[in-house]
Amino acid sequence: MSAAGKPSRGHGTAPATGRARWGPAVAALRGAVAELSRPGESDLSPRRLRTLTTAGLSAVLIGTNLIGSVIVLALLALRLIPLPTLAHLGRVRLDNGVLAAAYVLVALPAGWTLGHRTVWSAADWLLAERPPTPAQTRALLSAPRRLFGIQILLWLIAAALFSLFNAHFSGRLEVRVAIVVSLTGFVTAACAYLATERLLRSLTARALAHGIPDGLHTPGSVTRTLLAWGLGSVVPVGGLTSIGILALSNDGTTNRVSLGVSIIVLSGTGIVVGLIAVLLAARTTAEPISSVSRALARVRRGDFSARVPVYDASEIGQLQVGFNTMAAGLAERERIRALFGTYVDPDVAARILSAGTRLSGETVEVTCLFLDIRGFTGFAERTAAETVVATLNALFDLAVPIIHRHGGRIDTFIGDGLLAVFGAPRRLPDHADRGLLAAREIAAAVAEDGRLGLSVGLGLNSGPVVAGNVGGGGRYEFSVIGDTVNVAARVEAATRQTGDTLLVSEHTRAHLRVPAELVQRPGVVLKGKDDPVRVFGLGPAPASHTPAP
């Protein structure tokens, strides 16, 4: 409503209506441009792809051949090549023009029909949305060559027809017309071949996405380069050679002016046609390499899902297939690494992937952390198995990330507890400090989490261990072995005597780089140890304690 209370005229709806009206057309145009610039990388629907290919194929077949026809008529009508002296030149031009128009009216529809039939007989699977047969894939990849053959045949027919037609005017004219039409026809068909091969890549990409038939080979970059060389060098030089032969024959039709004009025209035509041919051939080779380069950049950034469309069965296609195979292998490797990270410690997984399974043992200084649930036996007896497992997993969900965050590694899960190691396989000069920080954080986290309803004991000990692969028969486990591990288990068991949540051995205390407020717990004897090992707790000893079972 306007300020006066009257309905507004809604001028703002016109742009929105216009956008709604032209939106689908703009989207279709963008899809067509994307498909033409990067074949096989857009999500163009099969129907729109067929429409785009039909329009492009029509433009190539009609456009190149019309241009070729105009060039032939211009060369002959404007006497841009040496022609014999004729008594009725005006009539000759008129008759040839009428014949050319009649032939074009017949040959263009014939070429258009044969060309489209060649392509779509091999691509009827597109609209049916089914995979092509191997025979259809081969036929589609050979379509540019078959179209080249069709156009060469039509131009050779034209050369023979015009040669015979002009024979009754002059034998010399007959030869010149045959040469001009044949050379122009070759140039036209070759340019159409390069353009058609580029245009059909969208179809071949979708066909080859379902697999490459065995033993399939198509002309590659060498053939395209030779074709460009022929258009830019062989044809113009062949024309100049023909003019030279005519000049040497001294038939009276080649003077200095006509010779100069012919040389200039053929040289200029060779430069232009050669440039077009080289550009087409270069783009045909460079574009798939660019697509591989773009996909390779994605792989470098860690995107192993990158793939490139395969639309060639030459060495370029083998490059595309090779890249996709490599990317799939890297993705599989990354998947295995992720699985290793789930069931194996990430540091161990990285070491296995880099050094293999033959990891010999070595002596290293580490800190071992033992964690155990107090009163677990009674808890397990009176609780359903599913709840027991869920409780264990909830506890480990708290503890494991803390251990990893401080650089530790889970060596093994032991029933209702775990053994963590700081310093192997990744060396950590401050392994004792990291172990103590992790143990204190775990103790605080368990105490704060009221869902568990459990208490834990934690024991730390530091010293030398043997770290390496343990196992046999093709099955190994990276682990640490030594008295240091056994002492850590005994230190954790001593928490039941002292009532502490966390106890630290004198060896760990000696390895600390940052001093901590630790208080000795006198009178604690570690089970199975002949030599006494002093243990320390955090702060004063608990006032009263009933040993846990």
**What is the domain partition of the chain in residue ranges?**
29-300, 364-538
pLDDT band at 482 (very low <50, low <70, confident <90, very high): very high
pLDDT of amino acid 464: 95
pLDDT at 4: 45
Which has the closest alpha carbon to 121: 145, 148, 139? 139
**Residue listed under structure tokens 């051939």:** 281
Q: Give the β-pairing of 535-538 and 518-520.
A: antiparallel
- List, as own/partner pairs, every contact residues 353-362 make where C-beta atoms lie below 8 angstroms and the sequence separation is at least 24, other chains included: 357/469, 357/476, 358/469, 359/468, 359/469, 359/478, 360/468, 360/469, 361/466, 361/467, 361/468, 361/469, 361/481, 362/466, 362/467, 362/468
Question: Can you tell me the mean pLDDT for 114-122?
Answer: 88
Question: What distance in Å separates the CA atoms of residue 290 and residue 85, rounded to the nearest whole number?
Answer: 55
Q: Is the peptide bond before 515 cis (omega within 30 degrees of 0)?
A: no
**What is the pLDDT of the chain when averaged over all its residues?**
80
| Chain segment 425-449, per-residue pLDDT in tens | 888 999 999 999 999 999 999 988 8
> Of the ranges 16-25, 95-104, 232-241, 525-534, which one carries the lowest mean pLDDT score?
16-25
Q: What is the pLDDT of residue 399?
A: 95
CATH number of 364-538: 3.30.70.1230
Mean pLDDT for 46-68 is: 87
Per-residue pLDDT reduced to its tens digit, 87-108: 676 777 788 788 888 888 998 8
Q: Which of 191-200, 337-346, 371-380, 395-404 has the largest mean confidence?
A: 395-404
Position of tokens 């270069």?
A: 282
Cα torsion 400, 404, 407, 409 to 10°: value is 60
Pairing mode, if any, of strands 535-538 and 502-505? antiparallel
Could you report the per-residue pLDDT of 152-165, keeping only the tens digit for each? 899 899 889 888 88
List Cα–Cα distances, 497 to 374, 379, 442, 457, 537, in angstroms: 12, 20, 20, 11, 12
Residue 30: what pLDDT?
72
Q: Which residue has the higher pLDDT, 345 or 387?
A: 387
Q: Do 513 and 433 meet the contact criterion of CB atoms below 8 Å apart?
A: yes
Alpha-carbon distance values, 475 to 357, 358, 411, 423 (Å):
9, 11, 16, 24
